[in-house]
Amino acid sequence: MSHVSQIAVSADVLRSTNMTLEQLQQHLIELKRMFGSRFPLIVPQKIDGVPALYWIVNLSQRLQKLKGCDGFDRHARTYSKEQRQSSYFVTLVASILVDKVDEIFLEPSLIGKTTKPDILVHLGGEQVYLECKHTVSLKCDYAEEHERMFLILSKYINVPHQVSIQYRKSLSDSELHQLGAFLKERLSLVTGDGRIISNSDLEVQVSKRDAFGDKRFRLIMTMIAEDIDEKCKYPGHVYVAGGITMAFSGPKLGYQRILRDKMRESKLQSPHNCAFVLVIDNAMILGSMSDNVRALSTAFQPQLNTRFSAAVLVDCRPKLDSPNVNVDFYFISNPFAKFPVSNKFGYLFPSSSTV
């Protein structure tokens, strides 16, 4: 287990998680047994923060739940440096289902096909194949637009204000100057934190701070900003420069084409005469959840995509205080499916759970 002993972790990180070094080493040893020589390619060799440590623990716990399943070794071999997150998504879905179904098979073979789905479950006489599609961090570069907004609006912002802007539609230079003039007038009256604009297209929140860092300091951060109430994800950036902090999230995007592309790709894995469900990782897909659900629902037509019994969107968010993750499922049944699934199968995917 030499690779295990070479992994570096600070005492501060362990202390923040209330985990002992021995407990962490046990998880690493389990992962080393599962991955063998690929272990150093999959597990970070330096644990530089609590999220990285929690990811390792969660991965170990999820895989250990599946160790007795048919096809586990085949599944473990799918892990690689490039496919780590894709394989983890299959692990996550399978580990959630394993205690709810009669039997589960990983990486099942399909006679007459070179490609195969990721999971097969047996539930009360039903036989259902699942294909899990992880979405990589999709290229959606709005840095140029957000920097243009910062350069215009920062001229109207007086230190010590921090401003957060969420917008649905892109703003022209003229509209930005109008917004800047309004902010300059309103911010002079601000005494605390609050929302100063809120309508269907634009929301502006402001925080008053009495101290900032060195005005020579410049920082740019890229993010995915999520509106929890709307269940909508936006491309975002935070800019810190000249003692001013501004955060931009927007515009609202539609990723329906990406979802339908995933559906088209998955047809290759579909069995000939069994129920088939597409499970999509929604974590990195921008736009509103309602729009994404609608895109999949409308893709099911009497003469189109009838090989799919259902689709499931999965939103997974790591918890900040434990290795567990919060998972939201959105189950979309296909009314035109050649091989429909039962309501009992749909109940396997609760709207919200912690695993």
Q: For residue range 192-210, list pLDDT tens digits in order.
A: 788 999 998 999 999 876 5
Q: Which helix (H) or strand (E) element contains residue 329?
A: strand 325-333
Using 50, 70 and 90 to split pLDDT, how confident is the model at 4? low
Q: Count other C-beta atoms under 10 Å from residue 340's C-beta.
A: 14
Give CA–CA dist 66/227, Å, rounded: 34
pLDDT at residue 35 is higher than 60: yes
Same domain, residue pair 178 and 234: yes
Note the pLDDT tens digit of each residue in 244-302.
889 999 999 888 888 888 888 888 888 888 999 999 999 888 889 999 999 999 999 99
Same domain, residue pair 122 and 263: yes
Crossing angle for the helix pair 50-66 and 21-35, nearest 10 degrees? 50
Same domain, residue pair 236 and 159: yes
Same domain, residue pair 280 and 184: no
Same domain, residue pair 294 and 347: yes
Q: Distance from first CA to last CA of the chain, Å, rounded?
A: 29
Q: Which of 206, 194, 241 shows the shortest CA–CA distance to 221?
A: 241
Q: Which of 200, 222, 249 is the last residue in one of the domains?
A: 249
Residue whose entry in the numeric block shows the structure tokens 């995007």? 253
Tell me: cis bond preceding 251? Omega within 30 of 0 counts: yes
Phi-psi region of 125 (alpha: psi -120 to 50; beta: other; left: phi over 0): left
User: What is the CA angle 260-264-268, rounded to 5?
Assistant: 155
Q: How far, in whole angstroms, is CA 75 from its chain's centroid?
A: 21
Q: Which of 36, 67, 98 is the last residue in one of the domains?
A: 67
Please answer whether residues 161 and 207 qualify as being in contact, where contact means their C-beta atoms are separated by less than 8 angstroms: yes
Q: Which of 188, 215, 249 is the last residue in one of the domains?
A: 249
Same domain, residue pair 242 and 148: yes
Same domain, residue pair 9 and 19: yes
- Cα torsion for 139, 145, 151, 154, to the nearest 10°? -90
Same domain, residue pair 162 and 244: yes
Please answer whether residues 178 and 149 qualify as being in contact, where contact means their C-beta atoms are separated by less than 8 angstroms: no
Note the pLDDT tens digit of each residue in 316-337.
888 888 899 999 999 999 999 9
Same domain, residue pair 133 and 263: yes
Range of the domain at 49: 1-67
Number of structural domains in the chain: 3
Q: Count other C-beta atoms under 10 Å from residue 14's C-beta.
A: 17
The whole-number average pLDDT for the span 137-166 is 85
Same domain, residue pair 177 and 163: yes
pLDDT value, residue 1: 44
